[in-house]
Chains A and B, each alone.
Chain A
């Protein structure tokens, strides 16, 4: 799949934002005073920037509002509602907290909604049978793990953050490996795609068009095997190991910020790989 910048930004930033907000909603972060305001601003900022980035992926962003319509069947629609609900609830939570009023029930609800939002985002991908690499419970699991980890890192909970970073690293590694296996084991082959399997081995001869099309640009993105391995290693280093290293030095706001930045950059890279490595079954028609 084409690793669109808008989608990488969307999933990374909104995931982190909702993770942070969820964290705060559970009352685990500083949610009062300037520090609280700052963290809320960061959480809402990340979530909203992510959501805004997602509309850049729309062909007709001016019609984005229509996306709320089909929540009964569409994960994208559900995600839109959940995001709205989560942001709404958490705004109330933030207002209450900043006004120093009790808000835990609202916070818990907001946190749940935020995590559901992240899960719904992941479900947009996980539901797609056409992308064997995504079509698995591990997709929402990984998205949630990243959201929670980012939330922890951003709020500066040192040891939980370190533990979560290591756990997510492991999860990501396992997800890559099982994803590879799923992609390799996909029952959809050139033979089944063309129905010509019973006759013999099928090799693409000429594509329907000599240039690119929406389909080839969007869904037949190819990334070299060697290249992918290097990028995975880099992502592991950047998203998890480097932040852990930074967090191990004495806590300081700058260190936390640096660790968070590294983690987010690394997450963005894992997201780039999430898209770039995902083979759409349609590619069987072309390659």
Chain B
């Protein structure tokens, strides 16, 4: 009795702690993996946050802590698989790795020797994009991208084109100094632990948080003020805030004149070749009027003081500054709060108050931070001015077809307040800042047996950079960088399967998917996509001839593969979180990290990246092999240590070989590098010098650091582009100017949407699906404790989110007479689903929503076919189509942002009707056979426990009965 519990031997929690990086989401927190001895060797016992890690500083989210169950998951694939049944059914035979790799290498070799475009290699939750992209480039196919196009390319593109840095992982609010925080359209985000930690810090400091979101859950639930905006109208709200601030003169004129293109002169001569571009001097540099000399000078001339109210008269035409044009536009009454309030679902008063709060925080709470720094015009400053307003935004902004321009509007707002790269504002994370023009242009020229002419993804600066042929036909399968969406800087993964199926712009042979559940939650029109993957032509050949899936688990997409390459779990492989890729830096330090096998796989699986190296070696790809075909790297670990992207610059920046000692940043490859990382806890931080921590785009010290680290090869100071010339070039082309001309049917769209200044236009679906017939926007949100489709296999997490209701606003709930336990039919212009519903008051009245990706296909993920995920859970994706409904112009417009190709998930409009409770949501997709069986009934295991015996006859019988019932039920 007494004290028994405390008298348990107070042994250490694990005999050993191995430090690596979490992979349960893209946040990439540091983890301490407790290892103990089990019956069959080292076992993972417990996972907690690494206190020293720059990203999470010891904390861990639910998914991260449940990683142990993902690592032990019953749904893990166990060996390479070859399809034996029809596609989609999920019947496979196990084969050896040699068979699998031989089969694949032979096929790929044939493709490469004839037409490398016939391989489409797309990766989803890939954290090694710089590597997978490099592989595809060496292979020679233009058809490579990761998931950014359906994720948040609007955010990335708007930020990088405007400021050389973006919300999406490339910046951070200044949590410690902000006095006001605005959060637009964010539920979880990739930076989920840092945002939670940051919110906690704001709360502890008593800093007000304002949430702009149709739905008030999670982060938005704790906000001190909530603006329950109508989806798709944030652009209006922001432009209205800009209107109020301009009208009150509450903008940072000094900041605007020095660091942005606000003082640059716009060519306003309608007769020039391309009016609307900036006037440039002979050296090609944009001109500004110097306030002292009143002369036009290059923007970066030493000592120049650009004048925001400058004008220049040339050939009878007055050319004004960007700022004047901008002020004229946004001061217009069309943006007055009273005018836009009804459309946004807000009160005019709320907008006035928010504008006042912004001005108050930015200007009344401003102060100087002592920090000497020198700008690119040679002026040395003793201080930096704090503008303590931080803003963050994510997919609520970006996943709309007007998201690019809305995100630009938000950046414009921040910049007008002087709240970017200053204390208290938004701060970039290395390797950013990096303006669009400093990134490469996209490449797609492919030829047999030849690497691609350059990286796949890049930043076009005008029509000449598009990837189209002389007839404007897209060069890429996903039609990225075509006139349909010129700035699709992350590709359009959501169009890949439908384009491949349609053979438009050309047919392919092999679809190679890694880490993307494209037959389920990452596709629009899921049932349609499943059909396309399984469809055969008249001869009985699959329309998409060969599908390869690299996955670690028995997902829905695995069932559609001809060949399955089983990956390890994240605790069993090497990986590299590289500064060449998506950064894990924080504003005050750059950082990179690794994963390493903290335990060995107990199945016949291989790390996918090493499999790619193996394939490259078999195919003798340049970049992976010497001229004579000798492999350069045996596996991914060797690639990480030995590969150099540019001389001295490799995947990892820490502990490289210098002349006399180990160096960070640029240096020769070091064979012992990974051991250094492992010893150091799996990551390395590179402190940004104090003088380089603010005002980076214009700060000499930053460019010095950036060069030393290898982020850039030369200093590249630049101005924030309030006026976007790349956009203007496309707009001008649509007006008929210039040599590259868009197809006729796209002219009007490009002219409107490619405005060089931020604009708002209604989400495109509004023009296609009748807003009266379909009065509600249907949204999804990330649940904090679930990661897309792959969290559902987790016995712990699935108890928290085992099914998802559709949340309805109160007025709808009451008017339709809904009661607890009711069901509804939800219809969009594209499709129909029947789902369970629940009531919510803290919800915009024009909005319905559900948690994302809870639903599972019957038989997937080692779950019982009777699992609530498969019966009541539902995907909204059935209602969202990759093409907008036809509206009488004979065209099917893509359901994407016309600038970037960002998938417009959140434009979806629906109607909702009460139906008798059904118990099973519809569509109920046919069951797939599980190549891994079903997981155990009882899970109660800890390290050292002998694994439970295989399922009893009774359990097997029950499983079979459930399956049978399920079949009969259909």
Q: Which residues of A contact B (CB under 8 A)?
A: 203, 205, 208-211, 213
Contacts and interface: CB of A to CB of B under 8 A. Distances in A.
Interface string B790-806: 00000000011111000
B868 interface: yes
A209 B799 contact: yes
A213 B840 CA distance: 24
16 contacts: A203-B841, A205-B840, A208-B800, A209-B799, A209-B800, A209-B802, A210-B799, A210-B800, A210-B801, A210-B802, A210-B803, A210-B868, A211-B799, A211-B802, A211-B868, A213-B799
Contacts of A211: 799, 802, 868
Contacts, number: 16
Point out which of B800, B801, B803, B840 has the most chain A C-beta atoms below 10 A from its C-beta. B800
Contacts of B803: 210
Contacts of A209: 799-800, 802
Contacts of B840: 205
B970 to A, nearest CB: 23
B841 to A, nearest CB: 7
Contacts of B801: 210
Nearest to A205: B840
Nearest to B869: A210
Interface in B790-824: 799-803
Given A208-B800, A210-B802, A213-B799, 13 more contacts: A203-B841, A205-B840, A209-B799, A209-B800, A209-B802, A210-B799, A210-B800, A210-B801, A210-B803, A210-B868, A211-B799, A211-B802, A211-B868
A208 B797 CA distance: 11
Contacts of A208: 800
Interface in B570-613: none
A225 to B, nearest CB: 14
A213 B802 CA distance: 13
A213 B799 CA distance: 9
Of all A-B residue pairs in the complex, the 3 with the closest CB atoms, nearest first, are A210-B802, A209-B799, A210-B803
B173 to A, nearest CB: 27
Contacts of A213: 799
B92 to A, nearest CB: 31
B863 to A, nearest CB: 13
Interface in B625-654: none
A211 B796 CA distance: 12
A1 B801 CA distance: 25
A206 to B, nearest CB: 8
Nearest to A210: B802
Contacts of A210: 799-803, 868
Contacts of B802: 209-211
Contacts of B799: 209-211, 213
Nearest to A211: B802
Nearest to B841: A203
A211 B863 CA distance: 15
Nearest to B804: A210
Nearest to B802: A210
Contacts of B800: 208-210
Interface in B716-759: none
B205 to A, nearest CB: 23
A209 B803 CA distance: 10
Nearest to A213: B799
Point out which of B799, B840, B841, B868 has the most chain A C-beta atoms below 10 A from its C-beta. B799
Nearest to B842: A205
B188 to A, nearest CB: 15
Interface string B761-799: 000000000000000000000000000000000000001
Contacts of A205: 840
A4 B500 CA distance: 59
Contacts of B841: 203
A190 to B, nearest CB: 15
A15 to B, nearest CB: 32
A208 B802 CA distance: 11
A210 B840 CA distance: 17
B341 to A, nearest CB: 25
A112 B548 CA distance: 80
A155 to B, nearest CB: 44
Nearest to A212: B799
Contacts of B868: 210-211
A202 to B, nearest CB: 11
A210 B802 CA distance: 6
Nearest to A208: B800
A174 to B, nearest CB: 33
A18 B128 CA distance: 74
A203 B799 CA distance: 22
A20 B840 CA distance: 56
A274 B803 CA distance: 33
A275 to B, nearest CB: 23
Contacts of A203: 841
A211 B802 CA distance: 7
Interface in B515-536: none
A209 B783 CA distance: 13
B83 to A, nearest CB: 34
A203 B840 CA distance: 10
B717 to A, nearest CB: 49
Nearest to A69: B1
A235 to B, nearest CB: 28
A205 B801 CA distance: 14
A213 B448 CA distance: 60
Interface string B823-849: 000000000000000001100000000
Nearest to B799: A209
A161 B802 CA distance: 54
A205 B849 CA distance: 14
Nearest to B854: A210
A213 B800 CA distance: 11
A158 to B, nearest CB: 50
Interface in B874-904: none
Nearest to A287: B820
A209 B841 CA distance: 21
A208 B799 CA distance: 9
A111 B801 CA distance: 55
Point out which of A203, A208, A209, A210 has the most chain B C-beta atoms below 10 A from its C-beta. A210
B297 to A, nearest CB: 59
Interface in B137-186: none
A40 B840 CA distance: 62
A210 B872 CA distance: 11
A60 B868 CA distance: 31
A280 to B, nearest CB: 19
A213 B801 CA distance: 13
A215 to B, nearest CB: 13
Nearest to B803: A210
B839 to A, nearest CB: 8
A57 to B, nearest CB: 21
A205 B803 CA distance: 15
A34 to B, nearest CB: 47
Nearest to B1: A69
A210 B841 CA distance: 20
A98 B800 CA distance: 62
A120 B126 CA distance: 64
Nearest to B801: A210
A208 B801 CA distance: 9
A223 B799 CA distance: 24
A211 B801 CA distance: 8
B362 to A, nearest CB: 31
A63 to B, nearest CB: 13
A209 B801 CA distance: 7
A210 B855 CA distance: 13
B579 to A, nearest CB: 39
Nearest to B839: A203
B943 to A, nearest CB: 25
B870 to A, nearest CB: 13
A27 B828 CA distance: 80
Nearest to B800: A209
A287 to B, nearest CB: 9
A231 to B, nearest CB: 22
